[in-house]
Amino acid sequence: MGSHYICKCGKPMASQVSRCPDCGYLGPHQFVGKPESADDSSSETPQVKRPVRGRGKEFNPEAFGKEPPARMADRFIDSGPDAPVEFADAEPGNQGRPKVPFNIRKSNEALDAALGIDKTGKKRPRKDRYKAGEFDYIDKSDDEYTSEYDEAEDEKEGKGKGRGSTAIISIVLVIILVIGAVYVINNFEEVNKWLMNPTIPEFFQPSTAIPPGNNPTQAQLPSGGSASPIIEPSPATATPPSGSTVQPGKIPPVITGPNITVTESSAKITWNVSEPCRGNLFYNIEGGTRITAKEINEYKSYFEIPLNGLESGKKYTVTIEMVNKDKAEADKTQDFETLASTADVTPPKLAGEPEKAVSDLTATITWKTDEKSTSVVKYGLSIGYEFTSIEDRGLRTEHSIFISALSPGTTYHFQVISRDAAGNEMKESGFQFVTEYPTNSAPYIGSKAPVFSLKTLDGGEVSLAQYRGKKVILNFWASWCSPCKIELPHFQAFWDKYSGSNDVMLLTVAGSGSDINMLKSIVAGSGYTFTVCLDTGEDLFNRYSIMSIPVTYFIDSNGTIRRMQQGMFTSPAEIEFVLDSYN
Say yes or no to pLDDT of 165 above 80. Answer: no
- Domain 255-337 falls under CATH 2.60.40.10: yes
What pLDDT is recorded for position 5? 81
**Distance (Å, whole) CA 71 – CA 351:** 143
Q: What is the CATH number of domain 453-579?
A: 3.40.30.10
Average of per-residue pLDDT across 537-547: 87
What pLDDT is recorded for position 250? 81
Answer with the residue of higher pLDDT: 537 or 351. Answer: 351
What pLDDT is recorded for position 538? 84
Q: Is 313 exposed, middle or buried (0-12, 13-18, 19+ CB in 10 A)?
A: exposed
What pLDDT is recorded for position 24? 81
What pLDDT is recorded for position 30? 80
Answer with the residue of higher pLDDT: 1 or 115. Answer: 115
Q: Is 260 exposed, middle or buried (0-12, 13-18, 19+ CB in 10 A)?
A: middle
Percentage with pLDDT > 70 across the chain:
67
Of 20-29, 60-69, 125-134, 262-271, the poorest mean pLDDT is in: 60-69
Say yes or no to pLDDT of 38 above 50. Answer: no
Answer with the residue of higher pLDDT: 384 or 344. Answer: 384
Say yes or no to pLDDT of 233 above 70. Answer: no
What pLDDT is recorded for position 330? 94
Q: How far apart are the first and last CA of the chain?
A: 151
Peptide bond before residue 347 is cis, with ω within 30 degrees of 0: no
- pLDDT tens sequence across 322-380: 999 999 999 999 999 999 877 788 999 999 999 999 887 889 999 999 999 999 999 99
Average of per-residue pLDDT across 127-145: 48
**Distance (Å, whole) CA 10 – CA 547:** 164
Say yes or no to pLDDT of 47 above 80. Answer: no
What pLDDT is recorded for position 128? 61
What pLDDT is recorded for position 489? 96
Give the model's confidence band at 545: pLDDT under 50 very low, under 70 low, under 90 confident, else very high.
Answer: confident
Q: Are 436 and 457 spatial neighbours (Cβ–Cβ below 8 Å)?
A: no
Say yes or no to pLDDT of 178 above 50. Answer: yes
Say yes or no to pLDDT of 294 above 80. Answer: yes
Of 63-67, 179-183, 309-313, 432-436, the poorest mean pLDDT is in: 63-67
Q: Are 138 and 50 spatial neighbours (Cβ–Cβ below 8 Å)?
A: yes
Residue type, 511: G
What's the Rg (C-alpha) of the chain?
63
Secondary structure of residue 429 in the 3-state scheme: strand
Say yes or no to pLDDT of 495 above 50. Answer: yes
Show the 3-state SS of 443-498: CCCCCECCCCEEEECCCCEEEHHHHCCCEEEEEEECCCCHHHHHHHHHHHHHHHHH
Which letter does DSSP use for residue 417 in this model? E
What pLDDT is recorded for position 189? 82
Average pLDDT, the chain: 77
Of 11-15, 157-161, 263-267, the poorest mean pLDDT is in: 157-161
Q: Is 40 exposed, middle or buried (0-12, 13-18, 19+ CB in 10 A)?
A: middle
Say yes or no to pLDDT of 430 above 60. Answer: yes
Neighbours of 128 (CB within 10 A): 11
List phi, psi (to 5°) of 489.
-60, -30
Residues of the chain with CATH 2.60.40.10: 255-337, 355-434
Which letter does DSSP use for residue 71 in this model? P
Give the model's confidence band at 199: pLDDT under 50 very low, under 70 low, under 90 confident, else very high.
Answer: low
Q: What is the CATH number of domain 355-434?
A: 2.60.40.10
Give the model's confidence band at 510: pLDDT under 50 very low, under 70 low, under 90 confident, else very high.
Answer: very high
Say yes or no to pLDDT of 266 above 80. Answer: yes
What pLDDT is recorded for position 26? 79
Answer with the residue of higher pLDDT: 318 or 451. Answer: 318
Alpha-helical regions (H) of 105-221: 109-115, 126-131, 148-186, 188-196
- pLDDT tens sequence across 205-219: 555 555 555 444 443
Say yes or no to pLDDT of 68 above 50. Answer: no
Say yes or no to pLDDT of 85 above 50. Answer: no
Say yes or no to pLDDT of 6 above 50. Answer: yes
Q: Per DSSP, what are the bridge partners of residue 563?
A: 554
Long-range contacts of 349-357, Cβ-Cβ distance < 8 Å, separation of 24 or more: 349/426, 350/416, 350/418, 350/426, 350/428, 353/431, 354/414, 354/416, 354/428, 354/431, 356/431, 356/433, 357/465, 357/468, 357/469, 357/559
Say yes or no to pLDDT of 220 above 50. Answer: no
**Distance (Å, whole) CA 438 – CA 450:** 8
Secondary structure of residue 173 in the 3-state scheme: helix
Q: Sheet with 471-477: list strands edge to edge.
A: 461-463, 453-456, 531-534, 504-510, 471-477, 551-555, 561-566
What pLDDT is recorded for position 154? 56
Alpha-helical regions (H) of 23-106: 38-43
Of 28-37, 90-99, 277-286, 527-536, the poorest mean pLDDT is in: 90-99
